[in-house]
Amino acid sequence: MGVKKMYKLERLINELCPNGVEYVKLNTICKIYDGTHSTPQYTDEGVKFVSVQNINDLYATDKYISQDDFEKYKVTPQVGDVLMTRIGSIGVCAIVDRDEPLAYYVSLALLHPDAKVINSKYLKYAVESLHGRKELRKRTLVNAVPIKINKEDIGKITIPIPPLPVQKEIVKILDNFTELTSKLIAELTAELAAREKQYEYYRNRLLNFGDNVEWKTLGNIGRVAMCKRILKSQTTSTGDVPFYKIGTFGKKADAFISKELFLEYKEKYSYPKKGSILISAAGTIGRTVIYDGKPAYYQDSNIVWLEHDETVVLNKYLLYCYQLKPWSVSYGGTISRLYNDDIQKAKIPVPSLSEQQRIVDILDCFDKICNDIREKLLAEINAKQKQYGYYRDRLLTFRKKEATKNE
């Protein structure tokens, strides 16, 4: 941050609030509303409708309601208002900066600040600061699913309110820092995407044999296998053996089964070998995980693998072929699904084992380089975000003004 700007801020604080600043309840400086509690009737065009999912870019929503439905809103967002998430990820804010109609769901709170007392952007930064998050957390209903904060409790949080000139100077500094941070993160993200594209290019070239090798269906190579069905009543929130469902596949398990049940089912029914390539057959199709041999169980039909002879196709070679998504996906209901038949009909090139190993060695090496770069870039992005949060919180931390005897 610029030394001159920091000096100006310190001078303003010393001049205008030498004895500290008041921490006031949000409902004394803002009017607070929430959006419609009923599921709207969406239309192809009309007034934009936003919810928690749109908080990072309000105007990019693809949902609309009719003008007639919009006119039923008693309070609508105006330029300078702040929308804040109050369900799920609580306390993320966006400023209404366009003079166009905007409808919003109950998952968002609308903060209408008193412009004579508080700057809209300062309000956003204050709510998102460490102090603001702590204040919201104290009043969050953590046992609700999803977690939420009631509209009335939002008004009870306190934030520091320095004089407007101080607020505006803080906003200038944070706006500048936000712009620089966002620009750097965008550059790092673009670099990461370029590296991943480069990896995909070389992988696709290595696996592009044309008619020079035999192509086989996965059904000719092996058979699709899956674990025995586990009933919800057989799982617990803690336990011996992690049970992975489609939502936790490749992540941290949130359900477990007993060791006894695991050993019984592992012995009686299909179970992956160490090194088997597990495939997601629902949700995000074709995600893969290499089974590491540790005790774990997987949701039937949604997580599958190919039982095959590794003297014909190497597991690791199969992994790289899966990345090309050689199957067609069947659609039904609200999610796409990869049926066993889709997998068995998929064709992959099958060169000699020595050629498979050569390709695996090259792609393993390139994959490691890309992962190292990815981790480095993600670490840089994380560091910049933390640095931004640190300076924001420092700028929004004030000595609390002590009440005088006459107050």
Q: Which of 348, 380, 396 is where one domain is finished?
A: 348
Write the DSSP symbol of residue 272.
Answer: P
Q: Are 11 and 4 in contact (CB under 8 A)?
A: no
Q: Judge if 155 and 303 occupy the same domain.
A: no
- pLDDT value at position 382? 87
- pLDDT value at position 12? 86
Say if residue 283 is exposed, middle or buried (CB neighbours under 10 Å; 0-12, 13-18, 19+): middle
- pLDDT value at position 222? 95
DSSP character string of 313-336: S-HHHHHHHHTT--S--EEETTEE
Q: Judge if 175 and 149 occupy the same domain.
A: no
Q: Judge if 282 and 365 occupy the same domain.
A: no
- Taking the C-alpha atoms of residue 172 and residue 164, their distance in angstroms, rounded to an integer, is 12
Q: Judge if 99 and 33 occupy the same domain.
A: yes
What is the number of structural domains in the chain? Answer: 3
Write the DSSP symbol of residue 292.
Answer: -
Q: Judge if 31 and 157 occupy the same domain.
A: yes
Phi, psi of 144 (to 5 degrees): -75, 155
- CATH number of residue 364's parent domain: 1.10.287
Summarised one tens digit per residue, pLDDT across range 73-117 is: 889 999 999 999 999 999 999 999 999 999 999 999 999 999 999
Q: Are 49 and 40 in contact (CB under 8 A)?
A: yes
- CATH number of residue 266's parent domain: 3.90.220.20
Q: Judge if 30 and 157 occupy the same domain.
A: yes
Q: Judge if 172 and 224 occupy the same domain.
A: no
Q: Judge if 145 and 178 occupy the same domain.
A: no
Helix (H, G, I), strand (E, B) or coil at 242: strand
Q: Which of 159, 87, 91 is nearest to 122 (CA)?
A: 159
Q: Which of 141, 161, 181 is where one domain is finished?
A: 161
> Quick count: other Cβ atoms within 10 Å of Cβ 339?
18
Q: Judge if 109 and 97 occupy the same domain.
A: yes
Residue 368, domain extent: 1-21+162-213+351-407
Summarised one tens digit per residue, pLDDT across range 129-183 is: 999 999 999 999 999 889 999 999 999 999 999 999 999 999 999 998 888 888 8
Q: Judge if 13 and 38 occupy the same domain.
A: no
Q: Which of 302, 332, 348 is where one domain is finished?
A: 348
Q: Judge if 257 and 227 occupy the same domain.
A: yes
Q: Low-confidence residues of the chain, pLDDT below 50? A: 1, 3, 333-335, 407
Q: Which of 171, 221, 99 is nearest to 396 (CA)?
A: 171
| Token digits of residue 297 | 């169980």
Q: Judge if 232 and 252 occupy the same domain.
A: yes
Write the DSSP symbol of residue 145.
Answer: S
